[in-house]
Structure 1
Amino acid sequence: MQVPARIGGRPVSADEWIEVLSPFDGSPVARVPALGAEHVAEAVAAASAALARGDFPQYRRAEVLERAAELLAERTEEFAVTIAREAGKPIRDARAETLRCVDTLRFSAVEARRLSGEVIPMDASASGVGRLGFALRHPVGVIAAISPFNFPLNLVAHKLGPAIAAGCPVVLKPAELTPVSAIRLVDLLVEAGLPADWISVVTGTGPDAGTPLVAHPVPALITFTGSVAVGRRIQDTAPRKRVLLELGSNAPVIVEPDADLDRVVAQVRLGGFSYAGQSCISTQRVLAHADIYDKLLHELKIAVGSLRVGDPLDEDTEVGPLISEAAAKRVEDWLDRARAAGAEVTGGVRHGTLITPAVVADPPRDLDVYRQEVFGPVVTVTPYTHLAEAIGLANDSDFGLQAGVFTADLGVALRAARELEFGGVLINQVPTFRADQQPYGGLRDAGNTREGPAYTVQEMTELRFVMVSA
């Protein structure tokens, strides 16, 4: 099945095509055109023309987003199957992503309706007496959006929804491994009434399509979700542009001795292994108090061993494949190094792109499986003796996206909220939880912005001060 890209409201093909394959069995899912710099330039020109027309007011933007949410809710299964096939995400998780995308569009519609400026009290100073001052929210301009493979629908919506609400046309470069969900979302937005040239989709590789998009002088803002290395390279390439980055993590969760261990085990079983751990906030580092470490480790191994691994289209599958065999081999190599370093590894056997869920007991702190982002079905468990030590272990990371704390003590919870150096601190919840309306984002190598439609719209607009003198 050939799925054309979209530039300036028209379908686009190319001489060369990219094969989109199922990560599970390598079967063909679709073919998309391999576009390059000339297509990027055409897409940016179309977006600039759409912005210049100025004929897409707030109420219409809200109506488009509201209608798109309705259409997506009606087609949940269709979109979920697309996600499961191209991303290898278990169908139950793919359905959940689709429903979250509905919410993201609805929240974006709300922001389109309530986008406003503010009145400035000019007579608060002597020089301002007799003058009226106000500030308006103005679209920042054309937006370049680069989305990742792991949430090929909802993370695209987190870029497109707020951009539409803010009044910014977009050139979208989706992940080359999972572009079909993004194209279909844009088609759905156009069906909902979006001007056909408002969003262009440029399919292709990072070097051929992504790099020219970042380097193009017109886009005023670049929004990127992906790896730390690529994100930092984008910053270096576009130093004069506004660059919004959502990057990586090795999310920790602290488990105090008074925690409900059944609840902890159930949540880590989900948070560490859903979508085979391929989430920026997948639970990776479990920090367990020494008093309950042995019991938690034992129960976690049993729980993780019961996870069903297999075909993402099977209703019973809980852990599907990694996105590629290369990704699976990297995780396998990190687990082999942990074994060689003397860590006890339960599970972690690779079969092509599938890896059985792994629990690594008290690994050395310098191992990649502990310090880096695994992005695979792996959880490490490390003992600590007092809360200050646990907070120190959690903070000892290049990342700072989200952290979790399980405790029955309100004082411990509040202390952790103050001292954990993360964009989000979740009490009695694994760090894998995300509500699409929250200010989601991190510190250090985790990124530099906050997503959630209300917060992204602020990033995608700028204040324009207006003063009227009598």
Structure 2
Amino acid sequence: MAMTNRKKALFINGEWVEAQVYSKLFSPYSEEVIGEIPSATPEEVNKAIEAASSAREVMAKMPAHQRAAILERLVDLMEKRSDEAARIIALEAAKPISTAKDEVARTIQTYKFAAEEAKRIHGETLPIDAAPGGENRVAYTVREPLGVIGAITPFNFPMNLVAHKVGPAIAAGNTIVLKPASQTPLSSYFLAELLQEAGLPAGALNVITGSGTVVGDKLVSDNRIKAITFTGSPAVGIGIRNKAGLKRVTLELGSNAALIVDKGVDIDKIISRCVKGAFSFQGQVCISLQRVYVHDSLYESFVEKFVEATKNLQIGDPLDPKTDVSALISKDDVERSLDWIEEAKARGAEVAFGGTAEGNILVPTVLLHADANLKVSCQEVFAPIVLINKVHTVEEAFDLVNDSRYGLQAGIYTENVHTALLAAEKLHVGGVMINDIPTFRVDNMPYGGVKESGTGREGIKYAVEEMTELKLVVFNRN
């Protein structure tokens, strides 16, 4: 395929710029070389920031209908080339092709939402005469673009999580310097190609690949960049927050998402959904189902049916449409996952299924009776590992769910409306999914977490708020 097996260039100021240094990109599944990727130098990063800074005025002055039209053209181009897009994701991320196609469909939705949102960025009028001395004045607010947005994106949704940063940035009239994850740069270069064709002005999007310490640090420390939007690990996110000074910072930092299954639930209806939530894209999803707390009256049968369904998952080549689970993103992640499973076994957890690796593929793993202090319980596994534990009451389950550094989303299956409302109140997370897995997300909902899951919200309308500045205008008519 033309897109891969070739040397990429940096995308700066609307042009493809040959870099000084290159590194090879390997497929996580076959370990073959799939491309040569630029490693940007500080000077190259500086050029990208300069380009974005120079293009600010053009984007800020562009009327909303024009920003929307560019995003609409992007949607058309992406629809026409959706198979190619899915194949790029499958190659660079080892995401099974059927899952990659779902991601492309969602990416298209996300840019559609961005096109729509571009047309409804509005303020409000204020009753200034509510305060003494405010008589005979007219006041209103407007939202203005911040300027240059630094976007740092992860490998797990190399198109859709990029769309959640690039879409609202363009909708709001900002310019962007994008640093995609080192393992998944091809999809971002593909996006740059499409946006150029869609008529985005030169400099409005710049794509820079390279090491986090060179590219990321420069974005975080450079004064010309007004906001950083980052999806990745808590350690890196907290580091960004500490270095960013007065920049606007949005952080999406992952989780160890939990599900509660209350008594009286029809298990047959929910098993395939739960298995999908746990093992979709090898569990490398921020809201992947990692912990399940099942009422003791249903526990045995839930485990039995869950394991049965897990056994039917097909592991193999990400380009094979039948594959459900493929390689983890790196060898290190396979090693780490196996270590965490060993730790769990050594401390009394039972492996009901899996627990081994085949090449770079970790076999989908189901752990039972895992202690709350184990790494598989309290850290983010980001691998196809799920633990299923027994609880006697939902109150006990609420405590277990909340006993976490994270709080992105949580789910509960229950037949009782009072329990559902109690869960909505008690669960300390950014989103509570009632009668669904915590892995549910559509692209216009506010998405983000509490505690170490981060700060700020994505979902186009909410991201636009984070990427704009509120300005107040008051007319004195006295």
Alignment TM class, shorter chain as reference: over 0.9
Structure 1 match to 2:297: 291
Q: Distance in 1 between matches of 2:128 and 2:300?
A: 64
In structure 1, the partner of 2:383 is 376
The answer for the alignment partner of 1:44 in structure 2 is: 49
Residue identity matched to 1:459: E
Distance across 2 between alignment mates of 1:113 and 1:158: 17
Matched, 1:251 2:278: no
Match of 2:418 in 1: 411
Matches of 1:352 and 1:330, distance apart in 2: 14
The aligned residue for residue 277 of structure 2 is 271
In the alignment, what sits opposite 1:35?
Answer: 40
Alpha-carbon shift at residue 391 of structure 1 (Å): 0.5
Q: CA deviation at 1:142?
A: 0.8
Q: Which of 86, 99, 103 is 1:97 aligned to?
A: 103
Q: How does 1:110-121 map to 2 (within 5 A)?
A: 110-121=116-127
Match of 2:435, as an amino acid? N
Deviation of residue 259 (structure 1)?
1.1
Determine helix, strand or coil for the equivalent of 2:259: strand
Matched residue SS, 1:272: helix
By how many angstroms is 1:352 displaced?
2.3
Distance 1:117 1:310 in 2: 51
User: Structure 2 CA distance, aligned partners of 1:221 and 1:426?
Assistant: 30
Quote the residue 1:309 is aligned against. Answer: 315
- CA distance in structure 1 between the aligned counterparts of 2:53 and 2:126, rounded to whole angstroms: 31
CA offsets 1:420-461 (integer angstroms, 9 cap, x no match): 111011011111111001001110000111110010001100
Q: Is 1:434 matched with 2:441?
A: yes
Superposed CA offset, 1:385-442 (max 9, x none) = 0111010011110000000101111111111111111101101111111100100111
* Alpha-carbon distance in 1 for matches of 2:120, 2:57: 23
The equivalent of 1:138 in structure 2 is 144
Equivalent residue, structure 2, for 1:62:
68
Q: 1:242 aligns with which of 227, 241, 248?
A: 248
Preserved contact between residue 144 and residue 221 of structure 1 (Cα < 8 Å): yes
Q: 2:430 aligns with which of 397, 402, 423?
A: 423
Would the aligned equivalents of 1:37 and 1:213 in 2 still touch at CA under 8 Å? no
Aligned residues of 1:267 and 1:430 also touching (Cα < 8 A): yes
Q: Secondary structure at the match of 1:436?
A: coil
Q: Where does structure 1 lack aligned partners over 5 or more consecutive residues?
A: none
Q: CA deviation at 1:5?
A: 1.5
Q: Deviations over 1:28-86 (max 9, x none)?
A: 21112110211111111111111134442211101011111121112110100000000
Deviation, structure 1 residue 15: 2.5
1:16 lines up with 2:21 in the alignment: yes
- Residue correspondence of structure 1 range 159-198 to structure 2 within 5 A: 159-198=165-204
Corresponding letter in the other structure for 1:196 = A
Q: What is the one-letter code of the residue matched to 1:256? A: D
By how many angstroms is 1:261 displaced?
A: 0.6
Aligned: 1:229 with 2:235: yes
Identify the residue that residue 466 of structure 1 maps to in structure 2: 473
> How many angstroms apart in 1 are the aligned matches of 2:12 and 2:464?
24
- Following the alignment from structure 1 to structure 2, what is the Cα–Cα distance between the partners of residues 55 and 128? 32
SS of structure 1 residue aligned to 2:439: coil
Q: Which TM-score applies when normalising by structure 1?
A: 0.98
Q: For the Cα contact (< 8 Å) 2:254–2:453, is it kept in 1?
A: yes
In structure 2, stretches of 5+ residues that fail to align are 1-5
User: Which stretch of the first structure deviates more once superposed, 367-376 or 20-29?
Assistant: 20-29
Q: Are the equivalent residues in 2 in contact too, given 1:276–1:320 (CA < 8 A)? A: yes
> Alpha-carbon deviation of 1:153?
0.3
Secondary structure at the residue paired with 2:298?
Answer: helix
Deviates more, 1:169-178 or 1:236-245: 236-245
Counterpart CA distance in 2 for 1:171 and 1:81 is: 25
Deviations 1:196-234 (A, max 9, x none): 210111110111211111111111100000001000000
Cα displacement (A) at 1:98: 0.3
Does residue 1:386 correspond to 2:400, yes or no?
no
Partner of 2:348: 342
Tell me what 2:463 maps to.
456
Give 3-state SS (helix, strand or coil) of 2:454's partner. Answer: coil
- The code of the aligned residue for 2:80 comes to E
- The answer to whether the Cα contact below 8 Å between 2:10 and 2:19 also exists between their aligned partners in 1 is no
Instruction: Report deviation, 1:122.
Output: 2.2
Given candidates 446, 456, 463, the residue that maps to 2:453 is 446
- Which residue of structure 2 aligns with residue 4 of structure 1? 9
Q: Give the aligned length.
A: 470
Measured after TM superposition, the shift of residue 17 of structure 1 is 0.8
- 2:161 counterpart (155, 159, 172): 155
Whole-Å Cα distance in 1 between the matches of residues 266 and 75 of structure 2?
Answer: 38
Q: Which amino acid aligns with 1:401?
A: L
RMSD: 1.0
For 2:95, what is the secondary structure of its paired residue?
A: coil
| In 2: Cα distance, 1:254 partner to 1:131 partner | 54
**Aligned counterparts of 1:114 and 1:102: Cα–Cα separation in 2:** 19
Q: What is the DSSP-based 3-state SS (H/G/I as helix, E as strand, rest coil) of the residue aligned with 2:242?
A: helix
CA contact (8 A) 1:98 1:154 kept: yes
Cα-to-partner distance string for 1:278-305 (whole Å, 9 max, x where unaligned): 0000000000011111111111111111
Q: Larger deviation: 165-174 or 46-55?
A: 46-55
Whole-angstrom CA distance in 1 between matches of 2:308 and 2:66: 53
